[in-house]
A and B are shown apart, each in its own frame.
Chain A
Amino acid sequence: GAGVSQSPSNKVTEKGKDVELRCDPISGHTALYWYRQSLGQGLEFLIYFQGNSAPDKSGLPSDRFSAERTGGSVSTLTIQRTQQEDSAVYLCASSDRARETQYFGPGTRLLVL
């Protein structure tokens, strides 16, 4: 079956521009996660969605970052007024339940010039 997909695979943008990153989780998975992976660093938790519950936004680094999940499926991570330090790989994962295996997408490589 189809895995987690993300788009775009690569994004180059100018400092100050807004970007939207998309994640399509595995069908039926109720939990969805966004992570950021900077060069040479471990994955950094950003936000977690579980069903219709309020998302856990505790990992978002600033108010320039926001995410939504429409209809309990597709999620969009938005970064406003991008900065060079936002350059990283943004990974999305989904799981059947919070304690289960997380299946990762291929990531979106964001470069802010």
Chain B
Amino acid sequence: KNQVEQSPQSLIILEGKNCTLQCNYTVSPFSNLRWYKQDTGRGPVSLTIMTFSENTKSNGRYTATLDADTKQSSLHITASQLSDSASYICVVGSGAGSYQLTFGKGTKLSVIP
């Protein structure tokens, strides 16, 4: 069964600090890995998409890494801001029709002043 596991489940950090969120997956065949940010009461918003051949991708203060051998990904947030408070969801696409996505349950990040 395809699964995406994220850790930690929740995290509280001080404004300005860095943090790293983890994602492990058992999805086959692998097509792509995406990170989404979901604010409370809103739909998810895409941060990054990585294919098998990419091992890092940045979007502003967000940097995602992918190790397809160990089936692990991380999302690093630099110099956190209060507006980074949200759930961060790791999503893995599989199969030839890579609309077939498996979602993690997300990491709830709270940035406090």
Which chain A residues have a beta carbon within 8 Å of chain B's beta carbons? 4, 31, 33, 35, 40-45, 48, 50, 56, 91, 93, 95, 98-99, 101-107
Contacts and interface: CB of A to CB of B under 8 A. Distances in A.
Given A42-B4, A42-B89, A105 B106 contact: no
Interface residues of B, number: 24
Contacts of A42: 4, 89, 102-106
Contact of B43 (A40, A41, A93, A98): A93
A45 B105 contact: no
Query: 3 shortest A-B CB distances, which residue pairs?
Result: A104-B43, A42-B103, A43-B103
Interface of B: 4, 31-32, 34, 41-46, 49, 89, 91, 93, 97-106
B89 A48 contact: no
Nearest to B46: A101
Given A42-B89, A99-B32, A104-B44, A31 B105 contact: no
A98 B41 contact: no
B105 A98 contact: no
Given A31-B99, A42-B4, A99-B98, A105 B105 contact: no
